[in-house]
Every structure is written in C-alpha cells, then in structure tokens.
C-alpha cells in the first residue's frame, strides 16, 4: 500500500515574507508610538508647570494682599509662556492694570504645546469686552465657535488670557489689562518696543486702537492645552470643531487654585 505524504511545513519564502511584513509594521508603528508618547509627556509636563505657576501666583496674591495671577501669552515665535502678573494701577496708569511681577521671569511651556482660553471676544469693533464661551457656543452652534478662531487676531485673543486670585488666594473673575510698568519694561510693552527686541510680549491696547487681539479682558477659569502640530494640520475654518472641541478642558478650583480636568 502506498501513502501520499503532503509537506505542510513553512517554506523559506513564506518565512521571509512574514519577516518583511513584521519589519514594515514595526517601522510604521514605532515612530507613531514615540510621537504619541512625546505628546503625552509634553502635555503632562505642561500641566505640572501650570499647576506650579498657579500655586505661586496664589502665594504672591496672599503675600502682597493684591490681585495677582498668571497670564498666558505667546511670543513672536508662537511659543506659549506663563507670566506672573500683579494688580498695580499706579504703575500701569489703568484701574484694571496689571504688570509683570518683578524678579519673576516668564516660564516657557514645552515648544510642542499651545494653550487657548475657553472664553474669547465676540467683537473687535466695540468699546467694551463681549465674551463668548467657546464650549457653550460650540455645543449650540459649532460654526459660530469656528468663526471665533478663524484668524490670527482671534487666535491672539484666544491664546492671551489670565487667571487671577484675590488677596485670600481664591480664584476670581477680574478685568485685566496687562501693561508695561515703565518705558524700559522688558516683559510687556508696545509693538515698537517688542519689534526692537526690548520687550518679549505685546501689552494690551485699548479697544479703539488697531485690533490685534491684545485688549483688556476678563480673567478666565478654564482653558485647553493642545498639540501645536495638530493645530497646523487643522484648517483655520474649523479649528474648534476639528480640534479643540475634542480635547480635555482644564478648569480652576475656586478654593484650591488647582486644575480640574473635564
């Protein structure tokens, strides 16, 4: 009696093909995993820095018995900073004027990270601030929320905001106009001084001047941390619906000053 013996083993060609497929998958997935890990590390690092800055600002407010806080603002290269500010009408010349705290350097957030406020101005042609909550507006009318972030001026406004504490260390809503404390202020100053390299950030102008997104605003209690690379991939016409609406919102606990994520 004869038997037919079938060869069910794996050929060398099949092994090589399998190894090649695995190598391709690894080549594709490892950079993606590294990018995700980097993004998470940047986000966690930014959160820790913001928490530390808020605690520092509360301590300044209690120690000086004045309104004090942290201002978020970008430099000319688009990098986000944390700037310690304190209420000082005499030095700024405005009742709601805040200046940079002396001997406190602005803290740069990781370069890959950006931050925007959840409250932005609706109009730029009036003499008073009309704020809109992006989260609320986005739920009711995403197209309107998108329109509030579709230009450089509006992104300047969204990326420039302050969190303020009172003399008891509690979070409060307060009108803020960040201004220079003198001609040689290296932190906040006019566009001319900033362009000449004698100041890092543009100071808030009045509502009736050229509208560049840097005007007096009410302090905020919530914001969004985002990946700047993801923003570059998103069309200006759907920044809210295409990116920001999908991200976690950081809010401030009114009593502890710590971040609450939701």
Report the residue count for the chain: 262
Q: What is the pLDDT of residue 4?
A: 54
- Pull the structure tokens for residue 245: 């609406």
**Is residue 2 in a domain?**
no
**Is residue 118 in a domain?**
yes
* Residuewise pLDDT in 10s, the chain (262 residues): 555 555 556 777 767 777 777 777 766 655 544 444 444 445 557 888 999 999 999 999 999 999 999 999 999 899 999 999 999 999 999 999 999 999 999 999 999 999 999 998 877 655 556 788 998 888 888 999 999 999 998 999 999 999 999 999 999 999 999 999 988 899 999 888 988 999 999 999 876 655 688 888 899 999 999 999 999 999 999 999 999 999 999 999 888 888 887 7
Strand partners, 162: 71
**Is residue 96 in a domain?**
yes
Q: What is the pLDDT of residue 128?
A: 55
**Is residue 183 in a domain?**
yes
Give the number of domains in the chain. Answer: 1
3-state secondary structure of 139: helix
Q: What is the pLDDT of residue 36?
A: 44
The alpha carbon dihedral of 149, 154, 155, 159 has a sign of negative
Confirm if 73 and 177 have CB atoms less than 8 A apart. no
The closest alpha carbon to 87, from 258, 191, 219, 253, belongs to 219
- The counts of H helices and E strands in the chain are 8, 16
The parent domain of residue 168 ranges over 12-261
The C-alpha atoms of residue 218 and residue 254 are separated, in whole angstroms, by 16
Confirm if 221 and 193 have CB atoms less than 8 A apart. no
**Is residue 16 in a domain?**
yes
**Is residue 65 in a domain?**
yes
**Is residue 6 in a domain?**
no
Q: Where are the alpha helices (DSSP H) in the chain?
A: 12-64, 89-92, 134-140, 142-147, 152-159, 191-195, 228-232, 239-242
Query: In angstroms, how far is CA 137 from the centroid of its own chain?
Result: 19
Q: Where are the alpha helices (DSSP H) in 114-211?
A: 134-140, 142-147, 152-159, 191-195
Torsion of CA 85, 89, 90, 94, to 10 degrees: 120
The C-alpha atoms of residue 183 and residue 40 are separated, in whole angstroms, by 41
**Is residue 4 in a domain?**
no
**Residues 6 or more apart whose Cβ sits within 8 Å of residue 208:** 127
């Amino acid at each position: 009696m004869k038997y037919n013996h079938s060869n069910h083993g794996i050929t060398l060609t099949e092994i090589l093909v399998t190894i090649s497929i695995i190598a391709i998958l690894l080549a594709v997935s490892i950079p993606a995993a590294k990018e995700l890990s980097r993004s998470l590390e940047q986000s966690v690092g930014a959160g820790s820095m913001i928490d530390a800055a808020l605690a520092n600002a509360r301590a300044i407010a209690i120690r000086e018995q004045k309104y004090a806080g942290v201002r978020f603002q970008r430099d000319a290269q688009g990098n986000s900073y944390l700037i310690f500010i304190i209420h000082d009408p005499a030095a700024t010349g405005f009742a709601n004027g805040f200046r940079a705290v002396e001997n406190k350097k602005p803290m740069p957030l990781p370069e890959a990270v950006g931050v925007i406020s959840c409250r932005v101005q609706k109009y730029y042609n009036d003499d008073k601030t009309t704020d809109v909550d992006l989260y609320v507006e986005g739920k009711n009318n995403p197209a309107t929320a998108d329109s509030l972030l579709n230009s450089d001026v509006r992104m300047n406004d969204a990326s420039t905001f302050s969190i303020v504490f009172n003399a008891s260390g509690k979070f409060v809503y307060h009108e803020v106009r960040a201004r220079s404390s003198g001609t040689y202020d290296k932190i906040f100053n006019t566009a001319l001084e900033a362009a000449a390299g004698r100041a890092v950030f543009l100071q808030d102008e009045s509502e009736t001047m050229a509208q560049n997104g840097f005007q007096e605003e009410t302090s905020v209690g919530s914001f969004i941390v985002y990946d700047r690379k993801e923003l570059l991939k998103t069309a200006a016409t759907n920044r809210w619906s295409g990116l920001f609406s999908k991200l976690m919102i950081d809010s401030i606990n009114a009593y502890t000053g710590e971040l609450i994520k939701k």
